[in-house]
Chain A
Amino acid sequence: MLGYLMRRIAISVLVVLLIAGFLFAMLNATGDPVLLLVPENAPPEQVEAVRHSLGLDRSVLFQFGSFLKRLMSADLGTSWRLNRPVSDILPYYIVNTIKLTMPALVLTTILSVGMGLIAAVRRNGIADLLATLAASIGNSMPIFWSGILLIMVFAVKLRWLPAGGTASWKSYVLPVVSIGFYMAASLARTTRTSMLEVLDADYVRTARSKGLREGIVILKHALRNAALPIITVWGAQLATLLAGTVVTETVFSWPGIGRLSVEAVMGRDYPLTVGVVIFFAVVFIGVNLAVDLTYAWLDPRIRY
């Protein structure tokens, strides 16, 4: 187990390095960023001065070395546009994104596992049909479009909820529902499929025949065994959730890390872009590792 953990962490570090290299290559391959920063028709001396102040006049290898060194010490540089250290900017936006994604995550998990369970237990019934249909539609709706539809109905027509901002709890409802609906779809499908498989198993029949209550059979005997694929998809959905914030935060003008990434990329603010991408990558890798370790805990048969 320990060996496995060490190997996984080593690979994760390698992957982060790969991403850093990829980012660095992209930054270098796409023209001279200095020209974007100085005013048009700036004299050559000024261009050189800016280049020197950013260390862009050194050799590529040297730049990559110092780039890695700064990454190691969590120094992400200074945002070119906001003129503040990236590591000072990120926390505010990260906290905002967490405030949005945590309720969405809780909502989807309860909603989708519940929906999938009912659909599996009442197989081919009305509830199953409705749940499957809702899941398919939720899966197919572009997240930017469903967000706009929600704004159209609840903010513009009915005027019940605000269309954006973070002013009160009401501002959370539409973005949370928008992300939640999108995420719930595949989780509900997986729960259903996975439950259907175990409901036919011998140990479920045994549990029933020895007179256990149906609730206990479903929750303790079936759901626990169906949990592995559900957790896998749940982990993958966390990733979807993070990626979804890019679009949802843009639609609802939410000051989170997703919208920040759009602004950083559009404004060609390279240090900020690098900071955001590295943040996303580390979270992704961490989540994947956590999901894999949860397997071992849930299924004693898995030994690393």
Chain B
Amino acid sequence: MTSSDWQPSASLEALRLRASLYQKIRHFFQQRDVLEVETPLLGRAASTDLHLASMAVQADNKFLQTSPEFAMKRLLASGSGAIYQICKAFRCGESGSRHNPEFTMLEWYRPGFDHFDLMDEVALLVGLLLGERTVKKLSYRDAFNGVLNEDPHSCSEQVLVQLAEQWTGYVAASDDNRDTLLDLLMSQVIEPTLGRGELTFIYDYPASQCALAKLSIDAEGVQIAERFELYVDGVELGNGYFELTDGAEQQRRFDRDLQQRADNKRPTVPIDQRLVAALNHGLPDCAGVALGIDRLLMLMAGTDTIREVIAFPADIA
């Protein structure tokens, strides 16, 4: 710790931009009768996702949240109606020009909306903040096919290995699975082309990447996840679902996640049984979405460095 790094890495102008953004968000939801809520950052359970590392707070034997999703669904199951929250989320080891281990999320849920309805609302909000842009909605298959000329749901793993090498120089390991290769191609090759001067939504994700979204069969008879993501100028801005409401299926997914963690030598974590109980009680059909506030600010400020919109990034906190 040197005495010269006490100053913020974000300018006063960026701090003002953040304050004005929060005002605009609150006004947007107030107009639509969506209730602002506050749920704990600390919880007994951690994220079971294979690729997320929840921060543990030893003193309290708890974990910091990677997103407010579980607590907000418990509120929805108690009859809260439409709710939103602006809060901090924490993820170990995620640091880079677009990542800070501690970051700000805007997350909201709309009972009675499906994910396509919610995409429209997201487009409205983001359009208000970034200025009018054409909205494009593209299936995962079409986005993939459009750049790489292959169907991501049906092409062989061998094809994915070759595409990965061809486009990124990545050398596949023998234990790399299909999702690893799809993630590589999406994040390195396809995403940078999305949302250029537009708002691009990608929907109908591979079933294996469903997280907490409902599964269904698409027009081509392929099982897909009712999940969407928003890209603006090549930046991933948000992730949304037509939310899974089946408690038994949620439990099965948690168990599968733990098995995957074990298979990949990742530490096991406690499952959120209270979320499962809430779903078993009854979660209204709803769509939910999480937007990265810092990323949104980066786009509004015209910077590609997250440090410029966060007062004190992890290394100087």
Does A pair with B?
no
By a beta-carbon cutoff of 8 Å, the part of chain B in contact with chain A is: none
By a beta-carbon cutoff of 8 Å, the part of chain A in contact with chain B is: none
